[in-house]
Every structure is written in C-alpha cells, then in structure tokens.
Amino acid sequence: MHDTITPQETMLLRAEIELLMKERQALLKVSGAAASLIAELRSGDLPPAAVEAAELLAGSINSLPEETLQDALNSINAQIHEG
C-alpha cells in the first residue's frame, strides 16, 4: 500500500466531494421545505390517511441535529416560528 495520493485519485475525490455537496444541498432544500410545511400544518386539518405520513415526516425532521435543520431552513430562506 502506498502512502501518497496520485493526482488522478485527488481528482476523483474532488469530483466525489462536489457531487456529495450538490446532493446535500438538494436534500437540505427538501428537508427545509418539509420542515416549513410541517410547522404550518395542524393534524386536525389533514385527511386521516395523511396523518401517519405527516407524523413520520415530523419525527424525521425532529431527529435532525439543530445545525442541520437550520441549514435546511436557510437553504429555502425560511424560519419556523414557535408558538
């Protein structure tokens, strides 16, 4: 095993990191939009069939680290106001 990274390996790693960052941005937008939507919903306003999906989505959003959720909201220029 060698201890140095070749220029080709460096290029491949950079390309992979760029792809991952683009995917992260897309996922942040989806998460931000979902968080914004969930924050505005009241379960009583939803059809019964949609409540389970909304609860699953809310649980997933709530399990995000605070910094990631803030990044997601920032990606869509949104803020969730409590209360």
- Digit-coded pLDDT (tens) for 24-49: 999 999 999 999 999 988 888 899 88
Structural domain count of the chain: 1
* Mean pLDDT of the 45-57 span: 92
* % pLDDT > 70, the chain: 92
Domain residues for 71? Answer: 7-75
- Let me know if residue 48 belongs to a domain: yes
- Let me know if residue 83 belongs to a domain: no
- Let me know if residue 1 belongs to a domain: no
Q: What is the dihedral of CA 80, 29, 25, 27, to 10 degrees?
A: 110
User: CB–CB of 80/36 below 8 Å?
Assistant: yes
- Let me know if residue 55 belongs to a domain: yes
**Residue 55, C-beta contacts closer than 8 angstroms, at least 6 positions apart:** 43
**Residue 33, C-beta contacts closer than 8 angstroms, at least 6 positions apart:** 76, 78
- Let me know if residue 2 belongs to a domain: no
